[in-house]
Amino acid sequence: MENKIRVLVVDDSLFVRTILSDMLSLDPEIEIIGTAKDGDEAVSKVKKLRPDVVTMDLIMPKADGIQALNGIRDLDESIRVLMLSASDRASADHIIKSLELGAFDFILKPSSTSSTDILRMKWDIITKIKAAYHSTGKGTVEESPHVISTFLGGRKRGRRAKGVPDHLVAIGSSTGGPVALRYILSSLPQEVNVPIVIAQHMPKGFTESFAERLNSKCDIEVTEAKEGEMLERGHAYIAPGNKHMEVAASRSGLEVNLKEGERMRGGRPSADILLSSVADAVCENSIGIILTGMGNDGAKGMKKIKDSGGQTIAQNQESSLIWGMPHAAIRLGVVDQVLPLADIPRALISLRGVVS
């Protein structure tokens, strides 16, 4: 096959470098062009070999994965970097930071040597290498702090409307989503009058770290959602990794329901499940937003919001790291506005009921 995907494997363990190289070499579309044992060697080999994709261990002696990522981005931002990580909390914090710095995505190292875990990792890493190679969008946006805030003041001290929310925003995202969500949420003013519920494809443990990171950068509150909590205005809720999240209308207001259930289109949390529940809960007062990500999760949920009389927005191709999810919704004909990421916050607050 011509034009194979040229991959550099970086890990401080010779065993892991060998296993990964052998695993990836079995795919006819992938060519391993080299390996590196630490971040310094990785940057040197990237400069010499110019790979298409780099698989990068997070924790290494000398220069670690984040330092190497910065070095590679300085050399050539078109080279996609996939971070490899354990599933502990410290690694989660570092992975969230690496995504903000421009890593394409990340892969969890298997928690055991069982054939099921190894095969799951093989499928995950090969799928993401191919997605990284074929991605065309930048997936980045210029920093623009609080571009649509309407007044200056202390963080999280703005005027908040009282009472049970009657409008609700639901967002679905995957690859590239952490950067897109950070931009949207950090651009929203303190006067946001609606709850925002979010299904970002991310493993258990990582969503808590992600929510805390967002909360430190936003004027609205951002937390990982909890079972049974009532949604509040001016508050964003991130679905926990490995849980589906639904919103149900009750006498007391809008309530979070979490469940495991089967993976939907490879994902848990599922954007389809979340968006569909929002359509059921608030009907024509629902707003659906679908952001960058692989696959077609969220398209059916966007259709349900549209059919319920709600409003829908999709990220455009140019600003999406991967345009799979937005494109799927657009193909169904259920998107009212297709916008670059930089325009989505302003479009959102212009909709009825979003700002008090």
29 in the same domain as 113: yes
185 in the same domain as 126: no
Q: What pLDDT is stored for residue 86 in this prediction?
A: 86
Top pLDDT among 352 and 303 is at 303
Top pLDDT among 308 and 143 is at 308
Q: In what order do the strands lie in the sheet with 105-108?
A: 30-36, 5-10, 53-57, 80-85, 105-108
Structural domain boundaries enclosing 61: 5-134
Lowest average pLDDT, out of 141-155, 191-205, 232-246, 254-268, goes to: 141-155
| 152 is a domain residue | no
Total domains in the fold of the chain: 2
80-133 pLDDT, tens digit each: 999 999 878 888 999 999 999 999 999 998 877 777 888 889 999 999 999 999
| 147 is a domain residue | no
What average pLDDT score do residues 21-30 get?
A: 97
Report residue 161's pLDDT band, with 50, 70 and 90 as the boundaries.
low
- Contact at 8 Å (CB) between 22 and 118? no
Average pLDDT of the residues of the chain: 92
226 in the same domain as 101: no
Question: 94, 167, 201, 235: which one is catalytic?
Answer: 201
CATH value at residue 102: 3.40.50.2300
pLDDT beyond 60 at 154: no
| 33 is a domain residue | yes
Q: What pLDDT is stored for residue 115 in this prediction?
A: 79
Question: 98, 173, 174, 187: which one is catalytic?
Answer: 174
pLDDT beyond 50 at 147: no
Q: What pLDDT is stored for residue 222 in this prediction?
A: 98
64 in the same domain as 20: yes
119 in the same domain as 20: yes
120 in the same domain as 33: yes
Q: What pLDDT is stored for residue 164 in this prediction?
A: 82
Q: What pLDDT is stored for residue 153 in this prediction?
A: 41
Q: What pLDDT is stored for residue 351 in this prediction?
A: 96
Top pLDDT among 142 and 244 is at 244
Q: What pLDDT is stored for residue 152 in this prediction?
A: 35
327 in the same domain as 192: yes
Q: What pLDDT is stored for residue 122 in this prediction?
A: 93
249 in the same domain as 336: yes
Top pLDDT among 149 and 63 is at 63
Q: What pLDDT is stored for residue 159 in this prediction?
A: 55
- pLDDT above 90 covers what percent of the chain? 80
344 in the same domain as 196: yes
Is 146 catalytic? The answer is: no
Question: 52, 64, 219, 297: which one is catalytic?
Answer: 297
Distance of alpha carbon 219 from alpha carbon 232, whole angstroms: 15
| 149 is a domain residue | no
- Contact at 8 Å (CB) between 235 and 196? yes
260-310 pLDDT, tens digit each: 988 776 679 999 999 999 999 999 999 999 999 999 999 999 999 999 999
Length of the chain: 356
Is 297 catalytic? The answer is: yes
Which of 114, 134, 154 is at the close of a domain?
134
177 in the same domain as 102: no
176 in the same domain as 35: no
Which of 116, 134, 152 is at the close of a domain?
134
Lowest average pLDDT, out of 29-38, 122-131, 137-146, 255-264, goes to: 137-146
Lowest average pLDDT, out of 30-34, 53-57, 145-149, 258-262, goes to: 145-149
301 in the same domain as 218: yes
| 183 is a domain residue | yes
Is 134 catalytic? The answer is: no
